[in-house]
């Protein structure tokens, strides 16, 4: 069984985000990049299922040349192949991204798959759109928010948590799935594996044009409030007890 995991290059989830002066882009001059946690799990699921069913696992990303770094992380995790749909660095919307991925998969025999995996959402935009759009374009079944995944006799068994229980879906292959963080524990890539991944070749493809009529117009970006504030030291050791008690009772109304 051949699997394909689609990933995205995103800013380090723990980094402080600053914007360019025109509020149109993220200032990446001092920013690290990574793979979304959900998509790390998608890579792990692709590798696990390929290994269990004697197939291959491929990682694919649409993004700038620097997205090669994230693809090599997938290779270091023991994915077999990596494909970059190389852009010039501009931001692609979910509709454009999905169309490019679907076209690449549909038109390139080397990108054939039985199971197509996505992270449930990317860490930067969180649109929840690309996976279901790709599945629709390829006319294959899709389920998102998956917290447990298995393949039995050509059927995907996908489970997702809901209030008070769990939903269970059975999808005939080929199929597409959006997995959540926690569906598995992504393997740690050793230093040796990372060095070997640097020597592996990455297939580069030209995606279709990103120009689409209409759609949503971006006006500006806004950096979230960091929530930082002044801290007041109430005292040390037992000497701080009266001050803490007074704060809880008078300001927070804890009795």
Q: What is the pTM of this model?
A: 0.79
DSSP 116: E
* 165 DSSP β-pair partners: 162
Average pLDDT (181-199) is: 89
Average pLDDT (151-176) is: 91
- How far is residue 56's CA from residue 143's CA, in Å, rounded to a whole number? 22
Average pLDDT, the chain: 85
pLDDT at residue 111, rounded to an integer: 73
Q: Which residue has the higher pLDDT, 15 or 116?
A: 116
Q: Which residue has the higher pLDDT, 81 or 249?
A: 81
C-alpha dihedral over 13, 17, 23, 28, to 10 degrees?
A: -80
pLDDT at residue 230, rounded to an integer: 66
pLDDT at residue 154, rounded to an integer: 86
Q: Which residue has the higher pLDDT, 192 or 109?
A: 192
pLDDT at residue 49, rounded to an integer: 94
- How far is residue 84's CA from residue 76's CA, in Å, rounded to a whole number? 16
Average pLDDT (143-156) is: 90
pLDDT at residue 213, rounded to an integer: 45
pLDDT at residue 215, rounded to an integer: 60
> What confidence tens digit (pLDDT) does each residue in 2-48 have?
999 999 988 777 767 777 778 777 766 777 788 888 899 999 999 99
Average pLDDT (229-250) is: 78
Look at residue 25 and give its three-state secondary structure. coil
pLDDT above 90 covers a percentage of the chain that reads 40
pLDDT at residue 241, rounded to an integer: 84
- How far is residue 34's CA from residue 49's CA, in Å, rounded to a whole number? 23
């Amino acid at each position: 069984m051949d699997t394909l995991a689609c990933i995205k290059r995103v800013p380090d989830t723990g980094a402080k985000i600053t914007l360019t002066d025109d509020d149109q882009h993220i200032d990446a001059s001092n920013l690290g990049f990574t793979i979304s946690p959900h998509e790390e799990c998608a890579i792990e699921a692709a590798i696990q299922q390929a290994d269990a069913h004697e197939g291959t696992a491929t990682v694919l990303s649409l993004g700038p040349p620097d997205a090669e770094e994230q693809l090599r992380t997938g290779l270091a995790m023991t994915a077999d192949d990596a494909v970059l749909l190389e852009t010039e660095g501009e931001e692609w919307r979910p509709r454009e991204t999905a169309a490019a991925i679907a076209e690449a998969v549909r038109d390139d025999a080397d990108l054939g798959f039985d199971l197509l995996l996505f992270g449930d959402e990317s860490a930067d935009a969180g649109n929840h759109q690309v996976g279901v759009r790709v599945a629709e374009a390829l006319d294959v079944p899709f389920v998102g928010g998956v917290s447990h995944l298995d393949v039995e006799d050509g059927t995907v068994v996908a489970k997702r948590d809901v209030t008070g229980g769990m939903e269970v879906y059975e999808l005939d292959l080929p199929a597409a799935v959006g997995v959540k963080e926690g569906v598995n524990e992504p393997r740690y890539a050793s230093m040796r594996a990372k060095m070997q991944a640097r020597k592996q070749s990455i297939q580069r493809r030209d995606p279709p044009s990103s120009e689409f009529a209409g759609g949503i117009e971006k006006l500006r970006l806004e950096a979230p409030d960091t929530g930082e504030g002044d801290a007041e030291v109430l005292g040390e050791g037992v000497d701080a007890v009266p001050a803490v008690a007074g704060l809880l009772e008078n300001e927070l109304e804890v009795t």
